Amino acid sequence: MNATSAVTKLCIEQLLKQTFGNLSKCYKHHHKGTTTDDYLDKFCAAVKGNNDPTIVDHFDIIRRNLSVENRGLTDEQLKNSPTSVIILGTTYAFRTIQSLEKDSVTLAIQNLADSAYWAGVAMASTGVEKAYLHTVQETQKSTKREAGKSGAQGRNEIYEPIRDYAYELVRMGGTTSGTKKWKSRQHAVSAIQDKVFAHAKARGIFMKGENSSNDNSLKGGVHVSRTIDGWLKKMPDAEEYFPKKAK
């Protein structure tokens, strides 16, 4: 790890500590009589155990952390719950830690930004849906601004966090028994494209070829597949995960 990366990781860790502190304050405010230890030892432990970085839908993340009897609550019922936003902030905080452990600094920064945002929402006692819509709208505006940049540089900046997410899914390992390799690069593309598309859409980022179908397997069609295939072809450690083509 170079000196710049080491300094960046140190900054992330310091900001993460502050974010956990803000979330703890919100938790104690909305759960009268609780302590910081209650938040860290009980609430955080439960959220960490329920964390699945492949899940990006906010309400799905929230429901994973609810008791069985409360998982049937509607999105409408969860929208204005202070606990919902604390769950989201804590979840992305743990995803930041996971990214740091994998030396994925770019993804760690993205997860930290999400965690800090939801911590801010919790501090302001803003509901999930209102904050989520605001996030998407602001991201879409940013995407349009970035699209005005010249050539590949602008596109690269827009899609970099989505590409890094695709890399993370690949690095979780393929299904070839006993190895972390995938059967082929196309096999990986087919397996992860729905999750990548959902991850982009959750952040208001448009992937070329998107249509209105509710079937994720059809969204984006060949355009999304082709884009992801291009990313995986240039993946720095691709040889560790995909078999070499016979010459």
Last residue of a domain, one of 106, 137, 168: 137
Give me the pLDDT at residue 220, please: 39
Residue 144 lies in a domain: no
Q: Within this chain, do residues 166 and 210 fall inside the same structural domain, yes or no?
A: yes
162 & 132 share domain: no
Query: CB neighbours of 222 closer than 8 A, spacing ≥ 6?
Result: 209
CA gyration radius, the chain? 19
Domain range for 12 is 3-137
Residue 246 belongs to some domain of the structure: no
Residue 228, domain member (yes or no): yes
* pLDDT tens sequence across 65-117: 998 888 888 888 888 788 999 999 999 999 999 999 988 888 999 899 999 98
Q: Are 232 and 185 in contact (CB under 8 A)?
A: yes
Pick the last residue of a domain from 104, 137, 170: 137
Residues 112 and 200 reside in one and the same domain: no
Largest CA distance in the chain: 68
Instruction: Give pTM, 2 decimals.
Output: 0.55
Residues 60 and 107 in one domain: yes
Are 115 and 166 in a shared domain? no
Sites in the chain below the pLDDT cut of 50? 126-128, 150-151, 176-178, 209-222
**Whether residue 126 is found in the same domain as residue 156:** no
| Same domain, yes or no: 75 and 194 | no
The rounded distance, in Å, linking the Cα atoms of 247 and 245 is 6
Q: What is the pLDDT of residue 239?
A: 87
If asked whether residues 74 and 109 sit together in one domain, one would say: yes
Look at the chain and report how many structural domains it folds into.
Answer: 2
Burial class of residue 213 in the structure, from the number of CB atoms within 10 Å of its CB (0-12 exposed, 13-18 middle, 19+ buried): exposed
- The verdict on 211 and 104 lying in the same domain is no
- Count of CB atoms within 10 A of residue 103's CB? 11
| Residue 177 confidence (pLDDT) | 47
